[in-house]
Amino acid sequence: MTKPVDLDPDDWDAFRAESHRALDLMIDYLRGLRERPVWVPPSDEAKARFDRDLPREGRELSAVLADFDRYIKPFATGNIHPMFMGWVQGAGTPVGMIAEMLAAGMNSNCGGRNHIAIDVERQIAKWMAQAFGFPQDASGIFVTGASMANFLSLLVARDQAYGDKDVRLNGLCAREGQLIAYASREAHNCVRQAMELAGLGARHLRLIPSDGNRRMKISALRHAISADRAAGFRPFLIVGTAGTVDTGAVDPLDRLADVAHSEDMWFHVDGAFGALAALSPALKPLVKGLERADSIAFDFHKWLHVPYDAGFFLVRDKDAHRRAFAANAAYLSRAPRGLAAGDTWPCDLGPDLSRGFRALKAWMTIETFGTKKLSECIEQCCRMAKRLEGWIAKSDAFVMRAPVALNIVCFGVKEDDDGSLAREIVMELHERGEAAPSLTILDGVPAIRAAIINHRTHEEDIDAFTIFLDAALRRARKEPHDFGALVEPHGPGKTRLSED
C-alpha cells in the first residue's frame, strides 16, 4: 500500500516554532529599516543561489528560511525605506504583512462563489465609492495594478461606445468608425499600452498638450475632438490623470468631465496614487471632478501602503462594467443556494478567474489605521515635497524642473543642460545606499525625481537627503570635499549617513 502523502508539517509544534522565528525575523527587519542602506545590489553569491537545478528532494523549512535570510532579504528594492523616493512605490506596513499571512492561510479563491472574502471585496468597493463620491452601487474589483485597471477601463468604454456586445463577438474589424481616445501628454504609458492591447492602436490615442503646470489643455482637447469628428473618427474616451507619474500634476478633472458629458464620451481617471488625495479633507479640492468620472483606476499599493499588489478598478455603472466581461460558462453557473450562489462574481468584472484575497490586506489596513491616519500620511508626503522644494529654491547648485502639485519634486543641477550630472548623482546615491530618487526626462532633459510617497519619510530624512545631494554633486563634479565634519547622524537608529 502506498503511504499517504500531504504537504502539512510532520511536526506541527516544530512548524509553529519555526514560523514564529520567521515572523520575528521580519518584525526585526521592519523595525531596523533605518539602520540599513536603501538598496544593496544582489551579491554574486546571491545571484548564484538562484541559478541551480530543479530540486528533486526537499529540505528542512529552517534551511530554506536561512536561505531567505541570507540570499533574498538583504537585496530588496528598498521601497519600504524612508530614503526611497524613486518612481512611485508604496512602502507597505507591518499590518499589511500580517494580513498577507492571514490571507495566505485561508488561501481563498476570489474569482467568485458564496464566501466571505467576496463580501470583504464588495465592502472595499463601497468604501471607495464613498471616498470618491460615486454611487453606492458602483462596481469595483481588485486587479494587479493601475496599469491593468486602466486597460479594463478602456475595454468597458469601448463596449459602451458600441452600445452592445457586438465587439466581444465579432471583433473590431466588423465595426465602422475608428474609436479615438484622448489623454494628456503627461499620461502614464500604460494608457498607450491599453490602446495597443485593446486592438485600438496606439496611434488612435491623442496626446493632448499640457499647460505650464502640466495639466491637460482643455482648448487643445476640444480642438482635437472636433478635428477627429470632422475626419470621420469616433471620439469615445477621455483619460484624465489625477497625479501624473512624472510630476504629480492633476488634470482639470471638472472641465474634462464637462467635455466628456457634452461630447457623449466615457470619462476615465487614472488616479493611480493621486486619487487617494480624496481621503484628505485638505487635499480633496485638488482632485475636484473625480466624483464625475465614469471609472477610476487607482492603487492601494501606492499611497495607502497595502502590500503589493493591490490595484483597483471602480466603475460608476455596474451594468456597463459587467457587460464588458461576464460570460456563461457551465462550470461557473450560479446556484440558488450553497457555495455557488451569488449574482455577480468578481470573475464577471474582469479577465481574471482565479484570484487571491487582496481585499483582506486593504480592509485590514483601512480598519487598523482609519482614513484619518492614512490621509495624514498622504498630507505629510506633500509637506515633505514642499520642504525639499524650499531647499532647492534656496540652493546655489540645484534648480526646480517642474512645479510641485502634490508629492513629487523634479529638479536638476544648474547649467547641467544634458542632465549628465543629474544622472551621475542618482546612480551615486543608489550605489552608496544613501537615498533612492529616480530619473525622468522633462522637456528632453534628465531630471532628478523625488516621489515622496512613503509614510516613513520625515523631515530629518528630507534634510539628510539634501546633504547627500550636495555631497553627491561635489563628487560628480570631482571637487575636493570633506563632508565628515558636515554630516551629523540625525539621531540614533536613523538613516545611515556616509563617511568618506
- Contacts with ligand PLP by CB under 6 A lie at 88, 145-147, 188, 190, 241, 243-245, 270, 272-273, 299, 311
Please say which residue, 301 or 432, places its beta carbon nearer to ligand PLP.
301
Please say which residue, 182 or 468, places its beta carbon nearer to ligand PLP.
182
Which residue has cell 526626462? 441
3-state secondary structure 43-101: CHHHHHHCCCCCCCCCCCHHHHHHHHHHHHHHHCCCCCCCCECCCCCCCCCHHHHHHHH
Least spacing, CB of residue 156 vs ligand PLP, in Å: 17
Q: How far is CA 321 from CA 124, 127, 167, 286, in A?
A: 17, 18, 15, 27
What is the C-alpha separation between 145 and 46, in angstroms, rounded?
29
Least spacing, CB of residue 191 vs ligand PLP, in Å: 8
What interhelical angle do 94-106 and 12-31 show, nearest 10?
150
83: which residues sit within 8 A by CB, 6+ positions away? 38, 434, 435, 436, 457, 461, 464, 465, 495
Q: Which residues pair with 205 in a beta bridge?
A: 181
Least spacing, CB of residue 214 vs ligand PLP, in Å: 12
Estimate to the nearest angstrom the gap between the alpha carbon of 353 and the chain centroid.
22
Please say which residue, 96 or 311, places its beta carbon nearer to ligand PLP.
311
Work out the number of other CB atoms within 10 angstroms of the CB of residue 237.
28
Q: Are 414 and 447 in contact (CB under 8 A)?
A: no
Please say which residue, 147 or 454, places its beta carbon nearer to ligand PLP.
147
Question: What residue number has its CB nearest to ligand PLP?
Answer: 145
What is the C-alpha separation between 240 and 215, in angstroms, rounded?
9
Work out the number of other CB atoms within 10 angstroms of the CB of residue 269.
33
Least spacing, CB of residue 344 vs ligand PLP, in Å: 24
Least spacing, CB of residue 217 vs ligand PLP, in Å: 18
Please say which residue, 96 or 145, places its beta carbon nearer to ligand PLP.
145
Q: How far is CA 279 from CA 241, 269, 283, 286, 373, in A?
A: 17, 16, 8, 11, 10
Largest CA distance in the chain: 81
Label residue 232 left, alpha or beta by phi (over 0 means left) and psi (-120 to 50 means alpha).
left
Least spacing, CB of residue 190 vs ligand PLP, in Å: 5
Please say which residue, 99 or 146, places its beta carbon nearer to ligand PLP.
146
Q: How far is CA 492 from CA 40, 150, 485, in A?
A: 22, 44, 18
Least spacing, CB of residue 90 vs ligand PLP, in Å: 9
Please say which residue, 90 or 235, places its beta carbon nearer to ligand PLP.
90
Please say which residue, 167 or 191, places its beta carbon nearer to ligand PLP.
191
What is the C-alpha separation between 433 and 19, in angstroms, rounded?
30
Least spacing, CB of residue 82 vs ligand PLP, in Å: 20
Please say which residue, 145 or 412, places its beta carbon nearer to ligand PLP.
145
Least spacing, CB of residue 249 vs ligand PLP, in Å: 10
